Amino acid sequence: MQQATGTATREGELLWRPAATRVEKAGLYAFRCWVNEEFGKAFETYDDLWRWSVAQPEAFWESIWRFYEIAPQTSYARVLSNAAMPGARWFEGAKVNFAEHLLRQGALADLSRTAVFAESESLDSIDLCWAELRQQVVVLATYLREAGVQPGDRIVAYLPMSTQAVVALLACASVGAVWSCCSPDFGVQSVVERFGQIQPKLIIAIAHYRYNGKAFDRRAELSDMLAALPTLTELIYLPWADADTPQPPSTPEYCKLTWWRDCLGANNASYATFDFAAMPFEAPLWISYSSGTTGAPKGIVHSQGGALVEYVKYAWLQDDMHPAQVKFFVTTTGWTMFNILIGGMMAGAAIVVYDGSPTWPDHNRLWDIADRCRVTYFGASPGYVNALVQAEYSPQDNYDLSTVKTIALTGSPSSRDTFRWCYKHVHDDLHVISMSGGTDVSSAFIAGASELPVYAGEIQCACLGVDVAVFDGAGNELPPGEDGELVIRQPMPSMPIYFWADPEGKRYRSSYFDDYPGVWRHGDLVRRTSHGGFVISGRSDATLNRFGVRIGTAEIYRALETIADIKDSMVVSVELPGAQCYMPLFVVLQEGVELSNSLLAAIRSSLSSYCSPRHVPDEVCAVDEVPYTLTGKKLEVPVKKLLMGTSPAKALNRGAMANPAAMDFFIHFADNFRSRTDP
């Protein structure tokens, strides 16, 4: 280890550089050596490999396919049939199965080795070895087939982080069905807005859970969901933390009730003889959802093949996973990080799933898990680390964390102090990474590479095969040191194949390609550093970043419409130093109504129950009117820019406003806000 904590250089504050032995044992090293031999190259650095991966994308992605033996029994016409965005076609003619390739990785080591560790506030700790995981997946997949599930049918889930959620997703993929999931803290409206779009055939759900030491009974909510989803034919019910209340929720007459345990005992399926569905590369695998900023959340559809080749690349080459690794990321099933966590298994690594609060009963919780499960890759949000800083908590005082080799931080921008804390309070030989990407591609655009040095507060590199650039408003590439829009100039396989119920692709194009035709605009404000890294300063759009999870303003507005005393509203979110965020809600009240404690309680209750606890704002302010454009759009982004310190002259175009005087309040509010928060 060549550790360099606190070393200042011209480019930044160098915190760590990997030892030569670590570099030579990494998946990157083995892959680069093979590429050099196979293609007659002499690549020596990560940057060499990245430049080739974007200059020759067909050769790069074919090398991933061949080196990692994605589907050796299938053929394809060509790697990339159309390089335009949107509309790129990858590996046309190939037949693949996401679950089949993942489960095959268990054979890279002993099948008795743990594949999934499960920790929970609700249940005792358990683990599932690769042999058990394979068997449960094929038994459930066989049950689904016998229940009439066909390739392309949608299966939805209302599940916590658990072995059952992993088994269910992989069983769904095994038969070619399309997976979609919400976590149990989602309210009825949020779930129905998502699942109602995709007309699911079957749902797998729980009705109880525990969080932060409190028990939640969701039977009434689950019954309401079932009643609002008339295409359902079956509920597979999983009792969860409800020993005293075994009664399942009521179900509509069209929805058969089956217990999870009965599904797993329904047949004698064998992994050795199971027939995984051979799906076209572009066949849908799962549906995730946009944040819902401009309407109902959009159903983002990813493909079997796109997710497969991206996760193989990401696991082996960006995260440096291999069969001896254990990957742990604190997330929920409703966030794309659940999918990305499972992606670590594409390299034969084990994963840890945790259902509960990261700080209950105390700050030891996650580090106790990391110690007991011998975690090598520990992932959390910068906000979580900041909470530990404020609590003056140091995990190395209580645990042996020598197995932890990588700490990953995502969900919000990471500060220099966040990076420094990891080296001071975990240990000093760490690969600390941050990343940006998310639901849109179910992966990252910029992230880490284990052979590169770590600089405080910086994302190390553009991912292999991702043609990242930083643009100004006119579409010109900006030099290092200047803030601009994060854009992607060439397609990657895990970009969405389409949005659900968007047959002409209008919503898809408007979401990513309106600003720079043919170039993907992601919505992150970023600057490139002089040594090839990146620093994210926040979102450039109206998407809310709340405790590391991106949510949409439209969901909040729809929930507030149920409160008669509120005439109009607007919400924004601003990222602050120290991995904090500030989310104020501005409400226009009906005539004669005051912002009383009872109304504030109603707002919090409505947002928590209709959406989720993450949707509850930090502050509620009464305003005379919400500012609008001439075309009737709320001016969320200009208000956000004011709060971030942009001058009114640059943030506003009063000539394009329907009610320019409404902005005077927000200018004054922003001045007061900055006076409170500026150091």
**Contact between 76 and 91 (Cβ < 8 Å):** yes
The answer to whether residue 272 scores a pLDDT higher than 80 is yes
Q: Is the peptide bond before 72 cis (omega within 30 degrees of 0)?
A: no
pLDDT of residue 244: 62
What architecture does CATH give domain 2-97+287-539? 3-Layer(aba) Sandwich (3.40)
pLDDT of residue 7: 44
What does the block give as tokens for 61?
Answer: 């992605």
Q: Is the peptide bond before 361 cis (omega within 30 degrees of 0)?
A: yes
pLDDT of residue 543: 67
Percent pLDDT > 90 in the chain is 71
The answer to whether residue 631 scores a pLDDT higher than 60 is no
What does the block give as tokens for 78?
Answer: 């060509």
What does the block give as tokens for 43?
Answer: 């690549």
Q: What is 552-677's CATH number?
A: 3.30.300.30
Q: How do the domains of the chain map onto residue ranges?
A: 2-97+287-539, 110-277, 552-677
| Higher pLDDT, residue 10 or 303 | 303
d(C-alpha 665, C-alpha 661), whole Å: 8
The answer to whether the 110-277 and 552-677 domains have the same CATH topology is no
pLDDT digits (tens, 9 = 90+) for 515-536: 999 999 998 878 899 989 998 8
CATH of 110-277, one of 1.10.1270.20, 3.40.50.980, 3.30.300.30, 1.10.645.10: 3.40.50.980
Q: How many residues does the chain have?
A: 679
DSSP strand E in 162-212: where? 178-182, 202-205, 208-211
pLDDT of residue 8: 42
Question: pTM for the complete prediction?
Answer: 0.84
Q: What is the mean pLDDT of residues 648-660?
A: 77
pLDDT of residue 579: 56
pLDDT of residue 549: 62
DSSP string, 629-651: BTTS-B-HHHHHHHHTT--HHHH
pLDDT of residue 2: 46
pLDDT of residue 377: 98
Q: What is the mean pLDDT of residues 171-177?
A: 98
Cross-strand partners of 461? 447
Q: What is the mean pLDDT of residues 114-121?
A: 97
| Higher pLDDT, residue 575 or 110 | 110
Closest C-alpha among 478, 512, 510, 470 to residue 492: 512
| Higher pLDDT, residue 53 or 189 | 53
pLDDT of residue 142: 98
Task: List, in order, residues 6 or more apart from 592 with CB less than 8 Å away.
Answer: none
pLDDT band at 573 (very low <50, low <70, confident <90, very high): confident
pLDDT of residue 491: 97
The answer to whether residue 490 scores a pLDDT higher than 60 is yes
The answer to whether residue 3 scores a pLDDT higher than 60 is no
d(C-alpha 582, C-alpha 620), whole Å: 11
d(C-alpha 320, C-alpha 361), whole Å: 32
| Higher pLDDT, residue 32 or 10 | 32
pLDDT of residue 10: 38
d(C-alpha 507, C-alpha 471), whole Å: 22
Q: What is the mean pLDDT of residues 610-616?
A: 81
- Give SS3 for 48: helix
Q: What is the mean pLDDT of residues 231-245?
A: 85
The answer to whether residue 261 scores a pLDDT higher than 80 is yes
pLDDT band at 547 (very low <50, low <70, confident <90, very high): low
Name the DSSP class of 591: T
| Lookup result for tokens 């994963």 | 351
pLDDT of residue 675: 81
The answer to whether residue 548 scores a pLDDT higher than 80 is no
